Amino acid sequence: MGSLGCDPFFALLRAPGAARGENRGIFTALILMSLAMALSIPRIYLFVDPLLGGVNAANLILRYSLFTVFLILGLKLAAAFNAQGAARFIGGPAGRCVLAASVLLVTVLFLLSDLPRSSPGLSGYRDQVTVLAYSDAGRLYTAYVAACLVPALSAFALNSRQPGDIRFSAGLIALGMSAAVVHTLLSLFVWGLERGWWDTLLNYAAVIVVAFGLALMWNSHRMAKKHPKPGLLARAYGSFDKE
Amino acid sequence: MSVSAKAFQTWRAKAAPLESTADLCRLAGIKRSTLAQQLVRGKVSVSTVVQVARACDQDPVEVLSFFEEYRGLRDGVRAPTAAELISQVSYVCILEQVVARSRQPGIAPEELPELCPFPHRNSVRGWFEAVDPGDLRQRLSASTGVAPQNLSAQLTAGRLASALALEAARLAGVSLASGLVATGLLTPDECGWPPGGREQALAQLSDADLVILARDRLDALGKVLKKVENDEKSNSALLEQLG
């Protein structure tokens, strides 16, 4: 529930700025993240899906919006942290291929599955092989982007020469991305693992932590704009002169 | 570098036999809990020793020489060299001298702009570089076992442990107390730095040497500022992407 609350909240905080044209990318990502979170909640899902025909199209929308969120976040974070490797892997041919493959795979597997009635998280159809493959394929792209970002983000978070507030935010986002990777590895490679607490916890913790990290960045940016630092020379001389 | 609590108690019994610990702390302006903690741990910090010595109206240099770690300090005190004196003048004051000499040829010494008080934040690094014959870092690192990057980090932060400052002075062949003046542990007066010494040392410089000195200082400052500026630029670009 925490993740459901914090995403729209952080998105709303950015709404005035987005209206002025500031950083609409991250704003869109947060809105889509809120949408995805909302559709993960059975009550909302069972309300929305029947409106779309009751054939679980809402689940497909959820997958697509997550892909978009990770595409935006991946490109933005890679550019922000000056991670050329990550930027190449996400925005370059490799990244585009993984994205296209994921979209194709998800769409095809969705169409192949027999999903006549709304079922949150498709939990009622877990006996179909195509449904299982569908949810795994849905994680492919997110895990790929997250894995590309983790090294650069963690390196920044561990670099003591960087400012503390940005390091902390970078650390939070790195933590969230790592959780997404671990979640995917667990569900892809540990066959027969019961879907238990880790399934929910890792996912939602990841969302909360990433959203929180982004909110802190937004706050740092706002603060930096509000209180511009005095000239470098004056600052340097002031500190040289201090006892 | 701290001195052993046992040695401190021995000295104290001789120097201030009548004062209670509480009186001593009040006179020296240190917290009772601080001294108590240091005594319990068996190590009294050298700044505490200096403060207590001052409170007892004793010469801190003499008092420090009483302790094993600082033996020979008293006998190693000499007048500072011209380079050391000039290292304690900030770049702004040097520029003021250049301006004053340019505007008024043959200006009387008492009309020259006043020099800022020292030590200032660049004192430690300035002093170290002034006494460094070229390989002081390596030799200091070899003789004390402190890693060169640790030394550099301390100097960049404007600090130097008392033991290192003492050893650096010994290796550089200058007055043993000079480093402790630059780190602010001892005052210039306590270590035989003549009043007006910096002014005299500057007056000895020819116009050309003064300008070259100013150029070198600006050169070093420019490098530091450029680095800070680049870091700040990339950080604000980062926040621009995500904030």
N- to C-terminal Cα distance for chain A?
A: 51
CA atoms within 13 A on the CB side of B95: 10
Q: What distance in Å separates the CA atoms of residue A93 and residue A89, rounded to the nearest whole number? A: 8
Lowest-confidence pick of A9-18, B167-176, B186-195: A9-18
For chain B, say whether A228 makes contact (Cβ under 8 Å).
no
Mapping DSSP to helix (H, G, I), strand (E, B) and coil, where does residue B4 land?
strand
Q: Is the pLDDT of residue B115 over 70?
A: yes
Residue ranges per domain, chain A?
3-240
> In degrees rounded to 5, what are phi and psi of residue A27?
-60, -50
Instruction: Please give the structure tokens belonging to residue A83.
Output: 């991670």
Q: What is the mean pLDDT of residues B93-106?
A: 91
Using only C-alpha atoms, chain B has a radius of gyration, in whole angstroms, of: 21
Q: Is the backbone peptide bond immediately before B117 cis, with ω within 30 degrees of 0?
A: no
pLDDT digit string, tens, across residues B65-97: 888 888 888 888 899 999 999 999 999 999 999
Q: What distance in Å separates the CA atoms of residue A27 and residue A48, rounded to the nearest whole number? A: 23
The whole-angstrom distance between A117's CA and the closest CA on chain B is 40
For chain A, say whether B197 makes contact (Cβ under 8 Å).
no
Pick the closest to residue A168 from A177, A158, A176, A178 (CA basis): A158
Q: Is the pLDDT of residue A64 over 60?
A: yes
Pick the closest to residue B138 from B148, B129, B128 (CA basis): B148
Q: What distance in Å separates the CA atoms of residue A115 and residue A128, rounded to the nearest whole number? A: 10
Using only C-alpha atoms, chain A has a radius of gyration, in whole angstroms, of: 20
Residue of A nearest to B117 (CA): A241
Tell me, what's the pLDDT at A196?
A: 65
Asked whether B35 and B25 are in contact (CB, 8 A), the reply is yes
Instruction: Please give the structure tokens belonging to residue B229.
Output: 């500026």
Q: What distance in Å separates the CA atoms of residue B181 and residue B190, rounded to the nearest whole number? A: 9
What is the share, in percent, of chain B residues with pLDDT greater than 90?
44
User: Is the alpha carbon torsion for A117, A123, A126, A127 positive or negative?
Assistant: negative
The whole-angstrom distance between A100's CA and the closest CA on chain B is 25
Q: What distance in Å separates the CA atoms of residue A36 and residue A70, rounded to the nearest whole number? A: 12
The whole-angstrom distance between A238's CA and the closest CA on chain B is 9
Cβ distance of B243 and A82 shorter than 8 Å: no
Among B224, B231, B239, whose Cβ lies nearest the Cβ of A220?
B239
Q: What distance in Å separates the CA atoms of residue B56 and residue A198, rounded to the nearest whole number? A: 66
Q: What distance in Å separates the CA atoms of residue B228 and residue B231, rounded to the nearest whole number? A: 5
- E-strand ranges in chain B read 3-4, 43-44
Rounded (to 5) percent helix, strand, coil in chain A: 80, 0, 20
pTM of the model: 0.73
Instruction: Please give the structure tokens belonging to residue B33.
Output: 């809990």
Residue A69: which residues within 8 A CB-CB, separation 6 or more? A29, A32, A33, A36
pLDDT digit string, tens, across residues B14-52: 887 777 888 888 888 888 888 888 889 988 899 999 998
Cβ distance of B120 and A166 shorter than 8 Å: no
Tell me, what's the pLDDT at B212?
A: 96
Name the A residues in 105-124 with CB < 8 Å from any B CB.
Answer: none
Pick the closest to residue A234 from B115, B198, B221 (CA basis): B221
For chain A, say whether B206 makes contact (Cβ under 8 Å).
no
For chain A, say whether B208 makes contact (Cβ under 8 Å).
no
Instruction: Give me the residue label for tokens 């899902």.
Output: A45
Pick the closest to residue A2 from B147, A225, A10, B73 (CA basis): A10
Q: Which amino acid type is present at position A34?
A: S
Q: Is the pLDDT of residue A243 over 50?
A: no
Q: What distance in Å separates the CA atoms of residue B54 and residue B57, rounded to the nearest whole number? A: 5
pLDDT digit string, tens, across residues A187-223: 877 766 666 667 777 888 888 899 999 999 999 998 8
Q: What distance in Å separates the CA atoms of residue A115 and residue A217, rounded to the nearest whole number? A: 41
Instruction: Please give the structure tokens belonging to residue A186.
Output: 């667990």
The whole-angstrom distance between A99's CA and the closest CA on chain B is 22
Instruction: Please give the structure tokens belonging to residue A172.
Output: 């939070």
For chain B, say whether A216 makes contact (Cβ under 8 Å).
no
pLDDT digit string, tens, across residues B134-178: 899 999 999 999 999 999 999 988 889 999 999 999 999 999 999
Q: What is the mean pLDDT of residues A120-125?
A: 82
Contacts of A80 in chain B (CB under 8 A): 237-239, 241-242
Among B90, B184, B242, whose Cβ lies nearest the Cβ of A241?
B90
Instruction: Give me the residue label for tokens 């025909």.
Output: A53
**Interface test with chain B among A240, A242, A243, by most B beta carbons within 10 Å:** A240
